[in-house]
Copies of this chain bind each other. A is one copy, B any other.
Amino acid sequence: MLIVQKFGGSSVANAERVFNVAKRIIETYDKGNDVVVVLSAQGDTTDDLLAKAAEINENASKRELDMLLSTGEQQSVALMAMAIQKLGRNAISLNAAQVGIESTSTYSNAKIKRICTERIQNELDRKNIVIVTGFQGINKYDDVTTLGRGGSDTSAVALASVLHADLCEIYTDVDGVYTADPRIVKDAQKLNEISYDEMLELASLGAKVLHNRSVEMAKKYNINLVVRSSLTREEGTIVKEECKMEKMLISGVASDKDIARISVIGIKNEPGKAFEIFSLMARERISVDIILQSIGRNNTKDISFTVHKADLKQAIAVLEANKERLKVDEIVFTDDVAKLSIVGAGMATNTGVASLMFEALFDAGININMISTSEIKISVLIDEKDVEAATIAVHDKFRIAHLSMKA
């Protein structure tokens, strides 16, 4: 079998953990498998490098940031190769340029376009364990790019796809995908299986187990994905197309504190005004999530929407710069908000799910600011301070743990 294994930054944070992971990789290799490993930067390396950059230039060009950040992964792959060699097996580290991981040009948020398999295949033929830098690519200018948040998961799934791997294992510091964050909800249950679509909603809603782009890619190329712990021998959660859980009402509760709300108040009631606001955001490459439009005073409209906390400053700057042209009265914002979501394939065929959720929040005395729904998820915007209480209340209401165990 050809197996791609991805380990996150905390799994390789120090020499001891590097050896633990090396042993785990060797176990798989010694069973006769070809093994390709994808690594993130060690522990806090990326944050340390970002701090170094901020000390020099708070608005550093994204090209140079990527050049800087990509060194973190290069260090961890070299160290891992050394550890595996120390344990008596053949290993070789490769960065994105050496593999040929071609990406789009957008620095700090590039997308993988094409991966050359020749070098990896040659190294596998020589019975090397191949250790590849996650999170990075090379664009058409030969410049280093990074893939944005959760990019190493995407690297692993993309490699699994082009190499026609039999399995892609994502190792993390949790046992698998849970019905809610087990640090908040004590009786949260680990799911044995989850569908790509549900995982996709959970991932994009803030469950930090897998990045949504990696799940999208796994769905597109039908990659067998397993999320499991690098610390235990637990089986983990299998993410795949079909799964037995269709009867479950909801498969999980997720929350995301990393968002901010912007309200544009008193927009003149003319066609195209909403379009203008969101095309401004698109031009700045700012992702907009929940959008809500309401009627304001004197024949005006109010539009509220959420963005990532990191993008708030830039979004406000752009809006203020265009205030005159947009003909708006006021722009207000807060980053003291969080998004709470429930996800489940069963939701589409069950009425009353939304009202059950709202009831749970009402009973807990939690105020809802905004609401957004899709086929298989419901998201609400609440105050950041309420996140934990809300998660517990909603999880209890649906008795997700109980349902999960029956599935």
Question: Per-residue 0/1 for A62-80: is the Cβ within 8 Å of any B Cβ (1 yes, 0 no)?
Answer: 0111011011101101110
CB < 8 Å neighbour of A74 from B60, B63, B67: B67
Taking the complex as formed, is A53 at the interface, i.e. its CB lies under 8 A from any CB of chain B? yes
Taking the complex as formed, is A388 at the interface, i.e. its CB lies under 8 A from any CB of chain B? no
Taking the complex as formed, is A92 at the interface, i.e. its CB lies under 8 A from any CB of chain B? yes
- Establish whether residues B64 and A82, one from each chain, have CB atoms under 8 Å apart when the complex forms: yes
Known contacts being A74-B67, A143-B98, is A79 close to B53, with CB within 8 Å?
A: yes
Instruction: Chain B residues near A119: list those with CB within 8 A.
Output: 142
Instruction: Chain B residues near A56: list those with CB within 8 A.
Output: 15, 18-19, 79, 82-83, 86
Question: Per-residue 0/1 for A49-67: is the Cβ within 8 Å of any B Cβ (1 yes, 0 no)?
Answer: 1001101110111011101
**Distance between Cα atoms of A85 and B15 in the complex (Å):** 36
Instruction: Chain B residues near A86: list those with CB within 8 A.
Output: 56-57, 59-60
Taking the complex as formed, is A168 at the interface, i.e. its CB lies under 8 A from any CB of chain B? no
Taking the complex as formed, is A200 at the interface, i.e. its CB lies under 8 A from any CB of chain B? no
Taking the complex as formed, is A93 at the interface, i.e. its CB lies under 8 A from any CB of chain B? yes
Please provide the chain A residues from 217 to 234 with a CB less than 8 Å away from any CB of chain B in the complex: none
CB distance from A127 to the nearest CB of B (A): 15
**Distance between Cα atoms of A213 and B231 in the complex (Å):** 49
**Distance between Cα atoms of A59 and B86 in the complex (Å):** 8
CB distance from A25 to the nearest CB of B (A): 14
- Establish whether residues B83 and A78, one from each chain, have CB atoms under 8 Å apart when the complex forms: no
Taking the complex as formed, is A97 at the interface, i.e. its CB lies under 8 A from any CB of chain B? yes
CB < 8 Å neighbour of A68 from B75, B97, B143: B75
CB distance from A24 to the nearest CB of B (A): 16
**Distance between Cα atoms of A18 and B60 in the complex (Å):** 14
Instruction: Chain B residues near A72: list those with CB within 8 A.
Output: 71
- Establish whether residues B74 and A142, one from each chain, have CB atoms under 8 Å apart when the complex forms: no
Taking the complex as formed, is A158 at the interface, i.e. its CB lies under 8 A from any CB of chain B? no
Taking the complex as formed, is A81 at the interface, i.e. its CB lies under 8 A from any CB of chain B? yes
Closest to A90 in B: B61
Please provide the chain A residues from 130 to 155 with a CB less than 8 Å away from any CB of chain B in the complex: 142-143
- Establish whether residues B63 and A92, one from each chain, have CB atoms under 8 Å apart when the complex forms: yes
- Establish whether residues A79 and B68, one from each chain, have CB atoms under 8 Å apart when the complex forms: yes
Instruction: Chain B residues near A98: list those with CB within 8 A.
Output: 142-143
CB < 8 Å neighbour of A67 from B15, B64, B67, B78: B78
Known contacts being A15-B56, A56-B18, A119-B142, is A78 close to B85, with CB within 8 Å?
A: no
CB < 8 Å neighbour of A53 from B63, B77, B82, B143: B82
- Establish whether residues A82 and B60, one from each chain, have CB atoms under 8 Å apart when the complex forms: yes
Closest to A60 in B: B82
- Establish whether residues B79 and A52, one from each chain, have CB atoms under 8 Å apart when the complex forms: yes
A contacts, CB < 8 Å to B:
15, 18-19, 49, 52-53, 55-57, 59-61, 63-65, 67-68, 70-72, 74-75, 77-79, 81-83, 85-86, 92-93, 95, 97-98, 119, 142-143
Contacts A60-B85, A65-B78 known; 16 new A-B pairs at CB < 8 A: A15-B55, A15-B56, A53-B78, A56-B86, A57-B86, A64-B79, A64-B85, A64-B92, A64-B93, A65-B82, A67-B78, A67-B95, A68-B78, A68-B79, A70-B74, A71-B74
Q: What 10 A-B pairs are tightest by C-beta distance, nearest first? A: A71-B71, A68-B78, A57-B86, A67-B78, A57-B82, A60-B82, A15-B55, A64-B81, A64-B78, A56-B82
Q: List 20 contacting pairs A-B, 8 Å CB cutoff, sorted by A.
A: A15-B55, A49-B75, A52-B75, A52-B79, A53-B78, A53-B79, A56-B79, A56-B86, A57-B85, A61-B85, A63-B92, A64-B78, A64-B79, A64-B81, A64-B82, A67-B77, A67-B93, A68-B74, A68-B75, A97-B142
